Structure 1
Amino acid sequence: MEVVGVIKKIEAYWDKRSDSFDADHDTEDLQAWMEALNNLLGTNQNKNVLDLGTGTGFLANMTAKLGHSTIGIDISREMMNYAVKHAKTAASDAVFMEGSVLELPFMNETIDFIINSRLIWTLVEPDLAIREWLRILKPGGKIMCFNRMKEGVGLNIGKVNIYEDEEVDNHLVVKSARMEELKELLERNGLVEVQIQKLPGLTRPGYDYDPWFVLMGTKVSETGVLIS
């Protein structure tokens, strides 16, 4: 199956899952998330944010509320219908648009922060994706990938045949990546200062989930200088 066909099947899956996926975020401590995002992004509201695989707008609406110009992009219209509804409820001015994280409709070096939540394990061509993200990222800009991970191990996507299509699932080459493999994915595609940081206190007590981590890296200038 060609990649285009795989992506169409993934899109259909998330359209179907939109209702239950939206309900999943009821388990999150939104105030703790706002504080964590504010610490990671900083207080300079002149920096923009692109939320890839935005889904129901979980991250995008929070970064917009923090004052950052924010765009959320996703292949699933049904997921983004929830994002727009939540934006109205939260008085968020985030903008949402349909698109693929493998081919982004933005000019080179125009984005300060690229963020995503539970996206990286779904990537069918992760190296191509990271290089595309790097293309639109400004020198000194950062990529931040938020994921629940098994501590000291890495991604722990427990389901087998998630998309109910073995060929599609075989394309999920990052699904069970260890922490070292995730860091190497960013490093081999040109990011520096790559690290994985645990984000304690984000999930509400009483929910037996793997803890949240953020995989981060920074883009250097063409001369190899790290711009802060």
Structure 2
Amino acid sequence: MNDLRETMRARWNAKGHHYDHADAHGTKSPSEKERWRNILARLGPGPLDVLDIGTGTGFVALILAELGHRVTGLDWSVTMLDQARVKVREAGLKITFVEGEIEALPFAAASFDALAARHVLWTLAEPERAIAEWYRVLRPGGRALADFSPRRPGEKGHHYPPEIEERLPLNRDVRPEEVAALFVNAGFAGVDVEPLPRDPGSDRVTYLISGFRPREV
């Protein structure tokens, strides 16, 4: 798996400068920002310690900081983290960015009150291991929010060569209930799947998967 992850990391370090320019990534879309502002508002009033997993160029992290939370953004691409830091400085906000891997988070157990993962689930080489890590770093009662879009016909090889994408278990037409089951197996309670509103003219169906780490009895 290390060879797979290093190949993927190298891809984003080389091409991460172009991430914000792709319409599909939605980083410049007012409707996408409003959608995620509404999603993240479900975490309740801040300040909470929130981890943005796969932060990329900081789209979710910036919204969380605007909502008043103490935010840590994690990504494995130095190229994308550099862009995120520029955005934070320009916005006059405070966010901690950390280079690291999603399947082996560099944080102590029970470090965060909540976590978010946008456009991440499909990229995971070891989704069971990653989601178990997400559970580990949440405090009891902490909530996870992640989106998931089943891959549509014609999207093969969109981000990585087919020989890489074929090794990503969730990079296919997987039912969202199957992804939700991974959260349940990791220990999350109250796991829910809901379809998110579609953008006008889009045929893409995206789901929000949420759950929380039970409080200790």
TM-score by length of 2: 0.88
Q: Work out the percentage of aligned pairs sharing the same amino acid.
A: 29
Aligned to 2:16: 18
Deviation at 1:209, TM superposition (A): 5.4
The correspondence for 1:210, drawn from 199, 204, 211, is: 204
Aligned to 2:53: 52
Instruction: Return closer, same or farther for 1:200/1:189 CA change in 2, 3 Å cut-off.
Output: same
Aligned to 1:200: 197
Q: How do 1:139-178 and structure 2 match up within 5 A?
A: 139-147=140-148, 149=149, 154-156=150-152, 158-161=154-157, 162-164=159-161, 166=163, 168-176=164-172, 177-178=174-175
Instruction: Return closer, same or farther for 1:31/1:165 CA change in 2, 3 Å cut-off.
Output: closer
Distance in 2 separating the partners of 1:209 and 1:79: 28
Deviation at 1:159, TM superposition (A): 2.2
SS at match of 1:26: coil
Instruction: Return closer, same or farther for 1:110/1:146 CA change in 2, 3 Å cut-off.
Output: same
SS at match of 1:108: coil
Aligned to 1:226: none
Deviation sequence 1:80-124 (CA, Å, 0-9, x none): 111111112222211111000111121111211111111000000
Aligned to 1:107: 108
Deviation at 1:63, TM superposition (A): 0.1
Aligned to 2:215: 221
Distance in 2 separating the partners of 1:140 and 1:157: 38
SS at match of 1:103: coil
Q: Is the 8 A contact 1:155 1:179 kept in 2?
A: no
Q: Is the 8 A contact 1:14 1:76 kept in 2?
A: yes
SS at match of 1:188: helix
Deviation sequence 1:1-34 (CA, Å, 0-9, x none): xx11111111111123323311232234265136
Instruction: Return closer, same or farther for 1:35/1:76 CA change in 2, 3 Å cut-off.
Output: closer
Aligned length: 211
Which sits farther off after the overlay, 183-192 or 83-92? 83-92
Aligned to 2:136: 135
**Pairwise CA RMSD:** 2.1
TM-score by length of 1: 0.84
SS at match of 2:97: strand
Listed as ranges, the gaps of 5+ residues in structure 2 are none
Deviation sequence 1:204-225 (CA, Å, 0-9, x none): x4x53524431101111344xx
Distance in 2 separating the partners of 1:93 and 1:192: 31
Aligned to 2:7: 9
SS at match of 2:113: strand
Aligned to 2:179: 182
Q: Which amino acid aligns with 2:211?
A: G
Instruction: Return closer, same or farther for 1:156/1:36 CA change in 2, 3 Å cut-off.
Output: farther
Write out the 4+ residue segments of structure 1 that deviate beyond 3 Å after TM superposition.
154-158
Q: Is the 8 A contact 1:142 1:219 kept in 2?
A: yes
Distance in 1 separating the partners of 2:33 and 2:55: 19
Deviation at 1:140, TM superposition (A): 0.7
Q: Which amino acid aligns with 2:132?
A: R
Deviation at 1:138, TM superposition (A): 0.6
Aligned to 1:94: 95
SS at match of 2:194: strand
Instruction: Return closer, same or farther for 1:117/1:158 CA change in 2, 3 Å cut-off.
Output: farther
Deviation at 1:185, TM superposition (A): 1.1
Listed as ranges, the gaps of 5+ residues in structure 1 are 224-228
